[in-house]
Structure 1
Amino acid sequence: MMEFRKDESGTVSAMFEPIEVDLLRNVASQLLQLLGAVDTDDAVMLAQPAIRRLLPDAYPDDPEAAAEFRRFTADGLLEGKLANATAVLGALGDDERDTSGEPAGFSAQDSVHDPLPVPIVLDEQQVQSWLRTLTDLRLVLADRLNVDPQGRPHLDDEESHVVNEIYNWLGMVQESLVYAIDI
């Protein structure tokens, strides 16, 4: 498990396994696709549970005030979320896969694949983008897992176990990043 550390210059860094980078790249790309498809004028789309978690009502007990507030803030909030997820992808570097989906230079005959860890170095602004995107990712996954307010998932099938592992891993990444900047 990687651990973020802050250096004297103020940057925060960690060494990620290539599979971790691939996972982060994959989920951040999926978040970008989800956010890019949001139409803030489409009430049906905004009512979807995952979108409601990402763009919650400011006034849950007053639909008229919530709609008015959303009219003025949703586009800006959405743009910020898109920019943050894009910054995460940028910090992860280029995807070094060829069109077959295999890592560059990798063939099916290669029985040993021992890639080196990938250094991730974040400045102060990138740290904030990462923290916000990790929160957004966990919100979407929490919705998918039907996580209750106490943090317990209420789905128990094979796919949910995998999603829950990703949810928990993203939480560990986020926690490590928070601890690193809190020093």
Structure 2
Amino acid sequence: MEFRREDTGTVSAMFEPIEVDLLRNVTSQLLQLLGAVDIDDDAMLAQPAVRRLLPDAYPDDPEAAAEFRRFTADGLLERKLANAATVLAALGDDEQSTGQTDASVHDPLPVPIVLDEQQVQSWLRTLTDLRLVVADRLQIDPHGTPHLDDEESYVVNDIYNWLGMVQESLVYAIDA
């Protein structure tokens, strides 16, 4: 998978079906997380993944941070939800992964993804949000060091790195 800029101004890539399924799955989970956020619930806002997605604007001033959040959190959540929905729409229909276990259901051919300028921005923002949530799960510190080291974390770390690769490829394509 590598994004490239087309003569039409769009950016495109060919994803393997399993990559589309993975991206669809994690983006759906992000939508569920964001949809459950209640900005008036301090306990919810204190959850580490939510704090990464909605960080304090003034970390050293809780009163100013709360005031800023009161005026901006709803709009920020709406934009994050819209961005994630844009990613899901670009990935196409989810009919093939409706729980059927027959391997012939999945098309082995790569899936073309074509993004216009607005969709590219939604993808970049959503990939960032996905990486923030996964980084929280891996307990990655500000220096990029994961502190979770169990069998499951290896798979999650691979997903984190793959999301970074997708994001990097998209950035290179729009900078070309």
* TM-score normalised by L of structure 1: 0.92
Q: Which amino acid aligns with 1:177?
A: L
* Runs of 4+ residues over 2 Å off in structure 1: 96-106
Q: Deviations over 1:113-163 (max 9, x none)?
A: 771000000000000000000000000000000001221111110111000
Partner residue in 2 for 1:4: 3
Partner residue in 2 for 1:58: 57
Q: Which residues in structure 2 correspond to 1:92-111 (within 5 Å)?
A: 92-97=91-96, 99-102=98-101, 106=105
Query: How far is 1:99 from its partner?
Result: 4.1
CA contact (8 A) 2:44 2:50 kept: yes
Partner residue in 2 for 1:109: none
CA contact (8 A) 1:92 1:120 kept: yes
In structure 2, distance between residues paired with 1:103 and 1:17: 18
Distance 1:99 1:40, change over 3 A: same
Q: Which amino acid aligns with 1:28?
A: T
Identity of aligned residues (%): 84
Distance 1:88 1:103, change over 3 A: farther
2:174 is equivalent to residue 181 of structure 1 = yes
In structure 1, distance between residues paired with 2:34 and 2:92: 21
Greater helix share, 1 or 2?
2
| 1:168 alignment partner, one of 136, 155, 161 | 161
RMSD: 1.4
In structure 2, distance between residues paired with 1:86 and 1:114: 23
Partner residue in 2 for 1:80: 79
Distance 1:114 1:70, change over 3 A: closer
CA contact (8 A) 2:17 2:107 kept: no
CA contact (8 A) 2:21 2:97 kept: no
In structure 1, distance between residues paired with 2:108 and 2:116: 25
In structure 2, distance between residues paired with 1:98 and 1:178: 29
Q: Which amino acid aligns with 1:71?
A: R
Q: Which amino acid aligns with 2:132?
A: L
* TM-score normalised by L of structure 2: 0.96
Query: How far is 1:98 from its partner?
Result: 6.0
Q: Which amino acid aligns with 1:85?
A: A
Please list every run of 5 or more consecutive structure 2 residues that lacks an aligned counterpart in the other structure: none
Please list every run of 5 or more consecutive structure 1 residues that lacks an aligned counterpart in the other structure: 107-112
